[in-house]
Homo-oligomer: A and B are copies of this chain.
Amino acid sequence: MPAAFEVITEELDTPFLAVDIEAMERNLASMAAAARARRLALRPHAKTHKCPEIARRQVEHGATGLSVATVGEAEIFAAAGFTDLFIAYPIWAVGVRGTRLRALAEQASLRVGIDSAEGAQVLARAVAGTVVETLVEIDSGHHRSGVQPERAAEVAMAAARAGLVVSGVFTFPGHSYGPGRGRQAASDEADALTEAAASLRKAGMEVEVCSGGSTPTATMADAAALTEIRPGVYLFNDAQQAELGTCGWPDVALTAVSTVVSSAGRRVVLDAGSKVLGADQPAWTTGGGRLPDHPDARIVALSEHHATVVLPDDGVSLRRGDVVRVAPNHVCAAVNLANELVVLAQGAEVDRWTVAARGANT
């Protein structure tokens, strides 16, 4: 860890989230290059960073637009000047949400996910008189929302009958999150999107967009099956991505800077807990996050304000007062807990970014 961290923490109490801007820029450039090489549109998922400053850099690197998870995120990025937005979620557009969607459609080029005829009809009523494109969500193996590929045309035709523009299909191959699962998930994604697109074409519909891509699968995306990828985590990476092998530790661009507050031999306690790191901990991870500068250390327990770390017997020691970087397991969760990100270059503070869409869950 750069020694400058010790200087920063004299003026800034731990824990806080720090962005290594050089690592982030490398990650942005590398994903943009991978998308260009495959002639895939890159529409990064802004739910990861929730910061207009970062979205701007993604667009500078060639992103064609942004993906978001909620109407609230779309509103914040539209207000910040981003006019090509895809809400990659099967929105149920009743009540105030319908009114908000209609207002958004008047400000931005808006795409929305649908995964049922009923959802499409509710959406069509809400946005009647405006132009909202839709993409049918396909279940490519994650078994969350989305229809089976063979049912895509049924939903698409219902949407078209309800008066919506249908531009194609999308999926999230979330079953890529597991050791060794990326390649199969990328293949499932390609198969599902190909079958769904074929079913739409067979029903006489045009398919402009086949959108997929998670961070673990984005660079393996099948350029024959997809037109667009929507990775989110890639710009920061996190302990999960490093443990999956999607990135190395030097590619982890966001960490929680924390202090050792308690110590008992090889067990130490850091002041970054689940209220800073998030509590995501799939069974295949090694613990509650990782210490990139101490790769053999393990976070054996997370409480709200404590990370309990066990150090290997033959490794370095950590003493009370030491400042340590922690990579959260899931960076999207960590960012959503912070009000701002401290931006560092060469270990020195150069900026702060407000997490503008933090908590924008509706």
Contact = CB atoms under 8 A, between A and B. Distances in A.
Contact of A359 (B278, B332, B338): B338
Interface stretch (A27-35, A125-133, A262-270): A262-270
A144 to B, nearest CB: 5
B92 A259 contact: yes
Interface stretch (A11-19, A161-169, A199-207, A216-224): A11-19
B145 A13 contact: no
A145 B95 contact: no
A261 interface: yes
Contact of A333 (B9, B279, B301): B279
A144 B303 contact: yes
Nearest to A303: B144
Interface of A: 9-16, 47, 69-71, 89-92, 94-97, 100, 115-116, 118-119, 122, 139, 143-147, 174, 259-264, 267, 269, 271, 274-276, 278-281, 301, 303-306, 308, 320-321, 330, 332-333, 336-339, 359, 361-362
A92 B271 contact: yes
A225 B302 CA distance: 28
A263 B116 contact: yes
Given A304-B332, A308-B144, A359-B339, A115 B262 contact: yes
Quick one: which of A90, A139, A276 has the most chain B CB within 10 A? A90
Contact of A47 (B70, B95, B145, B304): B304
A145 B96 contact: no
A12 B321 CA distance: 46
Contacts of A359: 275, 337-339
Given A11-B95, A116-B320, 9 more contacts: A10-B94, A13-B96, A13-B100, A90-B261, A116-B262, A144-B308, A146-B262, A275-B333, A275-B361
A261 B87 CA distance: 14
A330 B361 CA distance: 18
A260 B94 CA distance: 12
Contacts of A71: 13
Contacts of A92: 259-261, 271, 320-321
Contact of A337 (B263, B305, B337): B337
Nearest to A137: B262
Contact of A262 (B145, B263, B267): B145
Contacts of A279: 278-281, 330, 333
